[in-house]
Chains A and B, each alone.
Chain A
Amino acid sequence: MSEINKADNTMPQVMREIFSGGLVRTVISILLGFLVGALFMIGSNKEFIESLGYIFARPGDALGAAFAVVNDGYGALFRGAIYNADAETFEKAIRPLTETLRLGAPLIAAGLGIGLTFRVGLFNIGGTGQLIFGMIFATFVATRLELPFVLHMVVALIAGIVGAALLGAFVGFLKARTGAHEVILTIMMNYIALYFFTFLMRDPALLQETRASGNPKADPAAETALFPKLLGDSYSLHWGLIFALLAVVVFWWLMERSTIGYRLRMVGFNPDAARAAGINVEKTYILAMALSAGFVGVAAANQTLGTAIGVTPSSHANIGFDAITVALLGGSSGPGILLAGLLFGAFKAGAPSMQVFGVSPEVLGIVQGAIVLFIAAPPLIRALFRLPKPQTTNALESIRKRMFTRGGGSK
Chain B
Amino acid sequence: MTTSKETEVKVGYKSPIVMGSIGLLTLVFLGLLGRDGMVAFEISRRNDSLQLPTLDIDSSLLGVLAGLAMFALAGFSLSKAIKNLKTPIWVSIVFGAIGITALLGWLAAEKSVPIAFITGTALVLAVPIILGAMAGIMSERVGITNIAIEGQLLTGAFMAAVVSSITDNFLFGVIAAMVTSALVSMILAVFSIKFLAQQIIVGVVLNVLVIGVTNFLYQQWLTEDAENVNFPGTMDIIKIPVLSDIPILGHVFFENRITVFLAILIVPTIWFILFKTRLGLRARAVGEHPLAADTVGINVGRTRFWWVTIGGSIAGLGGAALTIGNAGAFGREMSGGFGFIALAVVILGRWNPIYASLAALLFGFSIILRVWANQVSPGIPTDFITMVPYVVTIIAVVGFVGKSRPPKALAVPYVKG
Are B347 and A184 closer than 8 Å at their CB atoms?
yes
Q: Decide yes or no whether B260 CB sits under 8 A from chain A.
A: no
Please tell me which one of the listed residues A196, A363, A377 contacts residue B191 in the complex, with CB atoms under 8 A apart.
A377
Q: How far is the CA of A190 from the CA of B390 in the complex (A)?
A: 9
* A–B Cβ pairs within 8 angstroms, 24 of them: A178-B397, A183-B147, A184-B343, A185-B394, A188-B391, A191-B386, A192-B390, A195-B384, A196-B383, A198-B383, A360-B216, A360-B220, A362-B212, A362-B215, A362-B220, A364-B212, A365-B215, A366-B209, A366-B212, A368-B212, A372-B208, A376-B202, A377-B195, A378-B195
Q: Smallest CB–CB gap between A353 and chain B, Å?
A: 15
Q: How far is the CA of A365 from the CA of B205 in the complex (A)?
A: 11
Q: Which of B204, B218, B344 has the most CB of A within 10 A?
A: B204
Are B204 and A324 closer than 8 Å at their CB atoms?
yes
Interface string of B346-374 (1 = CB under 8 A from A): 01000000000000000000000000000
Please tell me which one of the listed residues A178, A187, A325 contacts residue B344 in the complex, with CB atoms under 8 A apart.
A187
Are A328 and B217 closer than 8 Å at their CB atoms?
no
Q: Smallest CB–CB gap between B337 and chain A, Å?
A: 7
* CB-CB under 8 A for A379 and B208, given A44-B216, A184-B397: no
Query: Which residues of A from 366 to 397 have beta carbons under 8 Å from B?
Result: 366-370, 372-373, 376-380
Are A376 and B347 closer than 8 Å at their CB atoms?
no
Are B197 and A376 closer than 8 Å at their CB atoms?
yes
Q: How far is the CA of A191 from the CA of B406 in the complex (A)?
A: 23
Please tell me which one of the listed residues A188, A198, A203, A373 contacts residue B205 in the complex, with CB atoms under 8 A apart.
A373
Are A370 and B195 closer than 8 Å at their CB atoms?
no
Please tell me which one of the listed residues A177, A188, A367 contacts residue B393 in the complex, with CB atoms under 8 A apart.
A188
Q: Smallest CB–CB gap between B173 and chain A, Å?
A: 21
Q: How far is the CA of A360 from the CA of B398 in the complex (A)?
A: 43
Query: Which residues of A from 189 to 232 have beta carbons under 8 Å from B?
Result: 189-192, 195-196, 198-199, 202-203
Beyond A199-B384, A368-B212, A369-B206, 8 additional contacts (C-beta under 8 Å) are A40-B213, A178-B399, A185-B398, A187-B344, A192-B391, A195-B383, A195-B384, A369-B209
Query: Which residues of B from 185 to 207 have beta carbons under 8 Å from A?
Result: 187, 191, 194-198, 200-202, 204-206
Are B209 and A373 closer than 8 Å at their CB atoms?
yes
Q: Smallest CB–CB gap between B18 and chain A, Å?
A: 13
Are B390 and A191 closer than 8 Å at their CB atoms?
yes
* CB-CB under 8 A for A366 and B394, given A44-B220, A360-B220: no
Q: Decide yes or no whether B211 CB sits under 8 A from chain A.
A: yes
Q: Decide yes or no whether A19 CB sits under 8 A from chain B.
A: no
Are B386 and A195 closer than 8 Å at their CB atoms?
yes
A177: B residues at CB distance < 8 A: 398
Q: Decide yes or no whether B272 CB sits under 8 A from chain A.
A: no
Q: Smallest CB–CB gap between B13 and chain A, Å?
A: 15
Count chain A residues whose beta carbon lies closer than 8 angstroms to a beta carbon of B. 47
* CB-CB under 8 A for A325 and B205, given A185-B397, A376-B191: yes
Are B397 and A44 closer than 8 Å at their CB atoms?
no
A188: B residues at CB distance < 8 A: 344, 390-391, 393-394, 397
Q: Smallest CB–CB gap between A373 and chain B, Å?
A: 5
Q: Decide yes or no whether B261 CB sits under 8 A from chain A.
A: no
Interface string of B207-229 (1 = CB under 8 A from A): 01111110111111100000000
Please tell me which one of the listed residues A183, A192, A365, A377 contacts residue B216 in the complex, with CB atoms under 8 A apart.
A365
Q: Which of A40, A199, A366 has the most CB of B within 10 A?
A: A366
Q: Decide yes or no whether A180 CB sits under 8 A from chain B.
A: yes
A/B pair count, beta carbons within 8 Å = 138
Q: Decide yes or no whether A14 CB sits under 8 A from chain B.
A: no
Q: Smallest CB–CB gap between B73 and chain A, Å?
A: 23
Q: Decide yes or no whether A342 CB sits under 8 A from chain B.
A: no
Return the chain B residue nearest A366 by Cβ. B212
B202: A residues at CB distance < 8 A: 373, 376-377
Are B200 and A40 closer than 8 Å at their CB atoms?
no
B397: A residues at CB distance < 8 A: 178, 180-181, 184-185, 188
Return the chain A residue nearest B215 by Cβ. A362
Q: Which positions in A face B, CB cutoff 8 Å?
A: 40, 44, 123, 125, 174, 177-181, 183-185, 187-192, 195-196, 198-199, 202-203, 321, 324-325, 328, 359-360, 362-370, 372-373, 376-380
B41: A residues at CB distance < 8 A: none
Q: Smallest CB–CB gap between B397 and chain A, Å?
A: 4
Please tell me which one of the listed residues A196, A202, A328, A380 contacts residue B201 in the complex, with CB atoms under 8 A apart.
A328
Q: Is the interface of B mostly helix, strand, loop or mixed?
A: helix
Q: How far is the CA of A359 from the CA of B217 in the complex (A)?
A: 11
Q: How far is the CA of A180 from the CA of B220 in the complex (A)?
A: 42
Are A369 and B391 closer than 8 Å at their CB atoms?
no
Return the chain A residue nearest B196 by Cβ. A379
Please tell me which one of the listed residues B194, B206, B387 contacts residue A373 in the complex, with CB atoms under 8 A apart.
B206
Q: Decide yes or no whether B307 CB sits under 8 A from chain A.
A: no
Q: How far is the CA of A125 from the CA of B337 in the complex (A)?
A: 13
B406: A residues at CB distance < 8 A: 181
Q: How far is the CA of A324 from the CA of B211 in the complex (A)?
A: 15
Q: How far is the CA of A321 from the CA of B211 in the complex (A)?
A: 12
Q: How far is the CA of A279 from the CA of B100 in the complex (A)?
A: 46
B208: A residues at CB distance < 8 A: 321, 325, 365, 368-369, 372
Q: Smallest CB–CB gap between A380 and chain B, Å?
A: 5
Q: Smallest CB–CB gap between A218 and chain B, Å?
A: 15
9 closest A-B pairs by beta carbon, nearest first, are A365-B212, A369-B209, A362-B216, A199-B383, A360-B219, A366-B212, A369-B208, A362-B215, A178-B398
Q: Smallest CB–CB gap between B169 and chain A, Å?
A: 24
Q: How far is the CA of A378 from the CA of B220 in the complex (A)?
A: 32
Q: Decide yes or no whether B340 CB sits under 8 A from chain A.
A: yes
Return the chain A residue nearest B194 by Cβ. A379
Are B216 and A40 closer than 8 Å at their CB atoms?
yes
* CB-CB under 8 A for A366 and B191, given A188-B390, A188-B393, A191-B387: no
B381: A residues at CB distance < 8 A: 199, 202-203
Are B340 and A376 closer than 8 Å at their CB atoms?
no
Return the chain A residue nearest B391 by Cβ. A192
Q: Which of B145, B202, B381, B390 has the most CB of A within 10 A?
A: B390
Are A366 and B213 closer than 8 Å at their CB atoms?
yes
Are B220 and A377 closer than 8 Å at their CB atoms?
no
Q: How far is the CA of A285 from the CA of B145 in the complex (A)?
A: 21
Q: Smallest CB–CB gap between A160 and chain B, Å?
A: 22
* CB-CB under 8 A for A363 and B343, given A191-B390, A196-B387: no
Return the chain B residue nearest A174 by Cβ. B398
B200: A residues at CB distance < 8 A: 123, 125, 183
Q: How far is the CA of A187 from the CA of B219 in the complex (A)?
A: 28
Q: Smallest CB–CB gap between B334 and chain A, Å?
A: 15
Are A365 and B211 closer than 8 Å at their CB atoms?
yes
Q: Which of A174, A198, A365 has the most CB of B within 10 A?
A: A365
B212: A residues at CB distance < 8 A: 362-369
Q: How far is the CA of A20 from the CA of B220 in the complex (A)?
A: 38
